[in-house]
């Protein structure tokens, strides 16, 4: 993991591909009677479809990973979970994150059935994907270093 203190300025390959996908949808719709309106509607549709939602989530994960475990936003978001994963291997952490996500999703469904569906599953979703991506990229050493960095957070930062 690269440790930087700010959001990257240059777009990533995934961001560029997403822009190209949306642009291709606009170009493909240009053959109708009202090409400008059709192209605009196709572009809007492509920007908010399921693929765009998935790509936006993956882009957010890539940005969090580029920020690194020393960044305040990453510490605030994943510090508590890192404490619970302390001393575990990457494979064990993935299994635990999967279990947490399933349990939280089930609790969210129950709460939603009773009209109290305000629980956020985003942190669990993000942690799940980050850990799986780290395993795919064979980043066991980086995982250990990130856990150590996240677990060594000062007390005043943990209180925020």
State the Cα–Cα distance between residues 117 and 25, nearest whole angstrom: 35
Residues 2 and 59 in one domain: yes
State the Cα–Cα distance between residues 62 and 17, nearest whole angstrom: 14
pLDDT attached to residue 156: 42
Residues 37 and 96 in one domain: no
State the Cα–Cα distance between residues 90 and 3, nearest whole angstrom: 20
Residues 80 and 99 in one domain: yes
Residues 60 and 79 in one domain: no
Residues 81 and 34 in one domain: no
Choosing from 33, 67, 101, the residue where a domain stops is 67
pLDDT attached to residue 7: 47
Residues 47 and 120 in one domain: no
State the Cα–Cα distance between residues 133 and 80, nearest whole angstrom: 20
Residues 118 and 45 in one domain: no
> Is the pLDDT reported for residue 5 higher than 80?
no
Give how far Cα 80 sits from Cα of 25, 85, 157, Å: 42, 9, 12
> Is the pLDDT reported for residue 2 higher than 80?
no
Contact (Cβ atoms closer than 8 angstroms) between residue 101 and residue 125:
yes
Choosing from 45, 67, 89, the residue where a domain stops is 67
Residues 87 and 134 in one domain: yes
pLDDT tens per residue, range 10-55: 667 888 888 888 888 877 776 555 677 778 888 888 888 888 889 8
Per the structure, the count of domains in the chain is 2
Residues 46 and 77 in one domain: no
pLDDT tens per residue, range 51-97: 888 988 999 999 999 999 999 999 999 999 999 999 999 999 999 99
Residues 91 and 39 in one domain: no
> Is the pLDDT reported for residue 136 higher than 90?
yes
Contact (Cβ atoms closer than 8 angstroms) between residue 130 and residue 64:
yes
Choosing from 34, 67, 100, the residue where a domain stops is 67
HSE of 155 in the Cβ direction (CA atoms, 13 Å)?
0
The parent domain of residue 54 ranges over: 1-67
pLDDT tens per residue, range 84-133: 999 999 999 999 999 999 999 998 888 888 887 666 788 899 999 999 99
């Amino acid at each position: 993991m690269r440790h930087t203190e700010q959001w990257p300025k240059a777009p990533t390959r995934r961001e560029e591909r997403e822009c190209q996908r949306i642009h291709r949808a606009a170009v493909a719709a240009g053959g109708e009677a009202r090409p400008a309106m059709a192209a605009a509607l196709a572009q809007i549709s492509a920007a908010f479809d399921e693929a765009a939602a998935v790509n936006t989530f993956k882009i957010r994960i890539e940005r969090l990973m580029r920020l690194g475990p020393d960044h305040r936003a990453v510490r605030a978001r994943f510090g508590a979970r890192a404490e619970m994963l302390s001393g575990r291997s990457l494979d064990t952490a993935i299994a635990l994150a999967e279990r947490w996500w399933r349990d939280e999703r089930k609790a969210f469904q129950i709460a939603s059935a009773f009209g109290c569906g305000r629980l956020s599953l985003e942190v669990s979703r993000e942690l799940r994907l980050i850990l799986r991506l780290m395993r795919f990229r064979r980043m066991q050493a980086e995982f250990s270093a990130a856990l150590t960095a996240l677990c060594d957070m000062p007390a005043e930062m943990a209180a925020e």
